[in-house]
Structure 1
Amino acid sequence: MRLVFCGTPEFAVPTLEAVIAAGHEIALVVTQPDRAAGRGLEVHVPPVKQAALQHGLSVVQPEKIKNNLELRGRLEEIKPDAILVVAYGRIIPQWMLELPRFGNINLHGSLLPKYRGAAPIQWAVACGELVTGVTTMRLDAGLDTGDMLLAAVCPVGLEETAVDVYGCLAPLGAELMVETLKRLEAGTICPEVQNHSLATLAPILKREDGLVDFSRSAKQIYDRWRGFQPWPGAHTTLRGKKLIVSKMRIGGARSVAVGELLVDGEQMLVGCAGGTVAELLEVQMEGKKRMSAAEFLRGYQVKSGERLGI
């Protein structure tokens, strides 16, 4: 097929590589502009751009695409059979949806209709899912509401983080996209309308999502910690200062008030909802170094009965 590929982060690179390896022609790669980020405002090049240039592909990085006449003219000239969209980070305008004969094929990081939105992998883990996956779908004007083409499943381990699941889904999605293109060409795919009544949302993550709410159970808190790695992570406050929870696990049954610390030898435990307890294994005061619970308890002279979140 003659294709246009729209994608930006590392998650999209395996799909680009797999589609090239399968013999498809990538006539153009569309990715986000280079961005200055970090304290030194170092310019970061999108991983998809790096991969595309290594293959000698043409790359464009428009700031906007909806009313971009230059981009529209170029795509109309290319006449792609399909436009592939993998974590591009922009809403695809109607004119792009209508352009290719096979439509705009999106690789989404969940088993639709669950976890529609910008952060499906993170929210699936944060909600304690034991199974997630990837779905190829034909984009329409809605938010991940188009007809589903194919899906593939990935189990989620009880201790796996979003980073771990990301590592499973990226290559799985690449294989699925290649299979989707093969079956589209052969005419053997029957698009399936999503059951919108089963849809759940996975909105873009915000810094405040990482704030630990000890009125949740220890498992719920741990699942959110797993899902929100590496960002926004998990944080609370101790003695009025921000405390980052770098590593944690579910603790054994103890009688501890919600949000209250229990120091048991070198263990740093905190009471959660329903009589459950979370064990903080590694923590970091904002602006300070990351420490094991034992180091932190000694260094800060933490006592049982102190409260987190105040």
Structure 2
Amino acid sequence: MSDALRIIFMGTPEFAVPSLQALLDCPDQVVAVVCQPDRRQGRGKKLCPPPVKVLVEEAEIPVFQPTCICDDAFMGTVSDLQPDLIVVTAYGRILPGRLLNLPRLGTINVHGSLLPKYRGAAPIQWALINGESETGVTIMQMDNGVDTGDILLPITMPITEDDTSGTLFRKLADLGGQALFEALSRIKQGSLSPIRQDDSLSCSAPMLKKEMGQLDWSQSAQELHCLIRGLDPWPSAYSFIDKRRFRFFKPQVIPGEVTEKPGTLCRADKNGVLVATGQDYLLVREIQPEGKKRMCVQACICGMQLPVGEQFT
């Protein structure tokens, strides 16, 4: 199978941009792009196009932003384009089965985890929260389940001690583009063999909630270290002292026998704030006091006094 494929791309946020760029760089033809409708953003509530739409504005590729992807009108539009393949990266909606099966080669997805681990909406964040040492992307054949289709091509990547969900998003987005480029080449060569997922190894990655960010200092410093990084930049981890909320970023585990109560603010200096936990200490190098911007701890203590000896609650 060497002829150029007719491809419809479905994706919306910044994470999907490298995947679309990979398609634009390959010899196949992107016949249309489908993304979510423009949204109002910022204080001025200005109507803004999704990043994927911005990428193709000058490429003379049709862009569709349906409010409903299940109606006959949209299905007719897709059918008229006669796609060989649909590629999906973070589109943001569950696709109906008749759409998935419409192209002769079906529909493939770029997923931000090593399936069957972390099926769902927030795979990157949960890999960090659960302390995984590696993650990756999986090119999978989509079916009617949630990230349950056959695996076509997995590519792994290590997670560093300083990675956050923000840094991993950027890394995995780029890796997804690279994996997609390779997968398309191998699909046309007929050298990809679908592998059925082992459901017994699966775990879910549900959407994050703001209340997940409230820290329980009786946990170990390592657990808190993973949680803070997994929730950075959103919804972020936080705790209270003197009824004032502080958000925490850039944590580091400091081994040592803890003699203070968990949550005790043991030190605040240019190196960060040192807090006692259920096991070892946690050094936090960036902080965001309520009502202020995120800043290094040194900048924070220049403008306010942190109550050393008090407990975060």
Partner SS state of residue 225, structure 1: helix
CA distance in 2, matches of 1:142, 1:230: 29
**Does the 8 A contact of 2:267 with 2:308 survive in 1?**
yes
Matched, 1:198 2:201: yes
**Does the 8 A contact of 2:269 with 2:301 survive in 1?**
no
Two-structure CA RMSD over aligned residues (Å): 1.8
1:117 to 116, 120, 124: 120
CA distance in 2, matches of 1:172, 1:265: 38
**Does the 8 A contact of 1:263 with 1:303 survive in 2?**
no
State which drifts further: 141-150 or 252-261. Answer: 252-261
CA distance in 2, matches of 1:49, 1:290: 31
State which drifts further: 199-208 or 289-298. Answer: 289-298
Q: Which residue of 2 aligns with 1:84?
A: 87
State which drifts further: 166-175 or 52-61. Answer: 166-175
| Runs (5+) with no aligned partner, structure 1 | none
CA distance in 1, matches of 2:167, 2:295: 23
Q: Which residue of 2 aligns with 1:218?
A: 221
TM-score by structure 2 length?
0.92
User: How far off is 1:265 after superposition?
Assistant: 5.8
CA distance in 1, matches of 2:295, 2:51: 32
TM-score by structure 1 length?
0.93
Q: Which aligned pairs between 1:60-99 and structure 2 lie closer than 5 A?
A: 60-66=64-70, 68-99=71-102
CA distance in 1, matches of 2:88, 2:100: 11
CA distance in 2, matches of 1:73, 1:265: 63
**Does the 8 A contact of 1:256 with 1:277 survive in 2?**
no
Q: Which aligned pairs between 1:1-310 and structure 2 lie closer than 5 A?
A: 1-66=5-70, 68-253=71-256, 254-263=258-267, 268-274=273-279, 276-294=280-298, 296-297=300-301, 299-309=303-313
User: How far off is 1:71 after superposition?
Assistant: 1.0
User: How far off is 1:204 after superposition?
Assistant: 1.4
Partner SS state of residue 53, structure 1: coil
Gap change, CA 1:229 and 1:290, over 3 Å in 2 = closer
User: How far off is 1:134 after superposition?
Assistant: 0.4
CA distance in 1, matches of 2:114, 2:293: 39
**Does the 8 A contact of 2:248 with 2:288 survive in 1?**
yes
User: How far off is 1:157 after superposition?
Assistant: 1.0
| Runs (5+) with no aligned partner, structure 2 | none
User: How far off is 1:136 after superposition?
Assistant: 0.5
Q: Match for 1:243: what amino acid?
A: F
May I ask how many residue pairs the two structures share in their alignment?
307
User: How far off is 1:42 after superposition?
Assistant: 2.1
User: How far off is 1:301 after superposition?
Assistant: 3.6
Q: Match for 1:28: what amino acid?
A: A
CA distance in 1, matches of 2:278, 2:79: 57
Gap change, CA 1:124 and 1:244, over 3 Å in 2 = same
State which drifts further: 240-249 or 2-11. Answer: 240-249
Instruction: Indicate the percent of aligned positions where both proteins have the same amino acid.
Output: 41
CA distance in 2, matches of 1:16, 1:3: 11
State which drifts further: 97-106 or 250-259. Answer: 250-259
Q: Match for 2:59: what amino acid?
A: H
Q: Match for 2:232: what amino acid?
A: Q
Q: Match for 1:293: what amino acid?
A: V
Q: Match for 1:271: what amino acid?
A: A
